[in-house]
A and B are shown apart, each in its own frame.
Chain A
Amino acid sequence: MNISSVAIGQYIPGESLVHRLDPRTKIALSLVVVVALFIVKSAWAYAALGALIIGTVAAAHVPLKMVLRGLRPLLFVMVLTFGLHLFMDPGEPIFRIGKIVATDKGLAQGLITVARLSLLIMATSIVTLTTSPIAFTDGLESLLKPLSFVGVPAHELAMMMTIALRFIPTLLEETDKIMKAQMARGADFETGNIAKRARAMIPILVPLFVSAFRRADELAMAMEARCYRGGQGRTRLRQLRLGSLDVAALVLVTVYAVAVVAVL
């Protein structure tokens, strides 16, 4: 097993128009597109929204392959729902396998569901592919801030996300090291039944938790030593600012989405 080959985050640095957009603009617009995808019903509407998404991918200079890779984890769900629609929906039969009948309406509904799922994922992937994790959490915090009046801890949530992202590589490295140290003591993680393999994880998990808590403690101390006391009155090195590019994107994409929902 090679832990270091696990890719962390999917941000692809770049200088394209999409990269330069404010993270808030990107998060908000992906929400607009997601809502539109849930409202529309016709195949034309899906085609129109699909064109918008593919166009954005092209404008972002992100390889389409990277965007499609996000679909892989959901492949099984898509195949399953497509099959269920195809064979379970009422309608004119197209073909049959034994007693199971595939219908035309089922085929159409299945395709639409698959299209909806794929476009949903692609629309959100564009955001994570073109926004650095730090910018993303900053944007999220800024968008959630109005909700802090009703008790949503916006700053705390964003800080937790930032810290979690920051520590994923560290913890993976730590895991790798502990695994190797236990392998040097004859530990075996690869053979045996599930129960035995689960037990074999204990020598990794205990030291990993111990070190994670130690790191958390040290980090808390270091943050306090630098006078961290929550988000109140905290200024930022990088201010988020909406530019004319953001206004243009917000207006154009929203108008387009509304038009698609209204017309098609």
Chain B
Amino acid sequence: MSDTIIEVRDVCYTYMRGTPLARQALANVNVSIERGELVAIIGRTGSGKSTLIQHFNGLLKPDSGSVVVGGRDIWRKGVALRDIRRKVGLVFQYPEHQLFEETVAADIAFAPRNLAMSEAEVDEAVREAMRVVDLDYDALCARSPFELSGGQKRRVAIAGVLAMRPEVLVLDEPTAGMDPRGREEVLAEIRQLHETHGYTIVLVSHSMEDVARFAERLIVMDGGAVVMEGSPREVFRNREDLVRMGLGVPQVTGLMAELAARGLPYAEDVITVEEALHTLLPALLGAPSASASASASAGAGAGTRAGNGEGEVGE
């Protein structure tokens, strides 16, 4: 089972080292990413998430410690960083800001060309990458990336990384600044990449709801160190710690905890709205107490909205 694809061992990193502005971003970080999993890294702004993922593909060199990708220490002499960067595709925050070519197809082809693929292979890689992110090749390939919508631009940028056919896809807040529908679409695509295409995925996110729904494992960072690790369910049990770190738990987890605190015997471990529905419905239907039944009949029909219902139920 332990098929580790990325392993970060005791990594420390300080920005602007040796100047008065030096700032330590990572302190003795140990992280390993297994092949085929979908991991999410959460942490508040400045906790070191982005610094950490830039170590995954050798964009930053650790001050101490080592980074092993596919069994090889990437900072050992003779290791071609370009191979590492092909293996570990990194999609930055607001990736649409890096688009530069005249046409969508040429922009997506940038990475394959850098990797010295033949023109036929490049064309194939571009078509495949566009198919994976649900962009219509024939309609868009000759358009300028600058005239597309925000969501399309972002997908073009993600396709630009996918065209390298990486083994691991690392995404830094892929849904930042998008409207709810765009978020859903991008997240659905990421899930599809994971489930259908078998990608190993590392997702940096600020949305507890999203990671609860999608991630198989969470890595929580605070102050440049990994402070918690485990399944979303395990991690979200530590509500107080997470709140103290400037994070939190999914709203529905908070709601269920509140209900439990008021003596209603519902599971505290709920992390998604669907789970809450499954837990609440039988409990409410089976034992209708005077006050709970009124909101239950209303809540049963609109079960998917229970996540934002904290205020109403709390009263």
Contacts and interface: CB of A to CB of B under 8 A. Distances in A.
Interface of A: 4-5, 177-178, 180-188, 202-203, 206-207, 210-211
Given A182-B98, A185-B161, A207-B99, 18 more contacts: A5-B19, A177-B97, A178-B97, A180-B59, A181-B90, A182-B110, A184-B85, A184-B161, A185-B85, A185-B98, A185-B111, A185-B164, A186-B82, A186-B85, A186-B86, A188-B82, A203-B100, A211-B97
A4 B16 contact: yes
Interface string B76-98: 00000010011001101001011
A210 B146 contact: yes
A131 to B, nearest CB: 20
Size category of the B interface is: 20 to 34
B54 A180 contact: yes
A197 B161 CA distance: 22
B15 A180 contact: no
A203 B157 CA distance: 13
B160 interface: yes
Nearest to A7: B19
Interface of B: 15-16, 19, 54, 57, 59, 82, 85-86, 89-90, 92, 95, 97-100, 110-111, 114-115, 146, 160-161, 164
Contacts of B114: 185-188
A210 B147 CA distance: 13
B223 to A, nearest CB: 21
A187 B98 CA distance: 12
B82 A184 contact: no
Contacts of A210: 97, 100, 146
B134 to A, nearest CB: 21
A180 B16 CA distance: 17
Contact of A178 (B57, B98, B110, B111): B98
20 contacts: A5-B16, A180-B59, A181-B90, A182-B98, A183-B59, A184-B90, A185-B98, A185-B110, A185-B161, A185-B164, A186-B86, A186-B110, A186-B111, A186-B114, A186-B164, A188-B114, A203-B100, A207-B97, A210-B97, A211-B97
B104 to A, nearest CB: 14
Given A5-B16, A5-B19, A184 B100 contact: no
B81 to A, nearest CB: 8
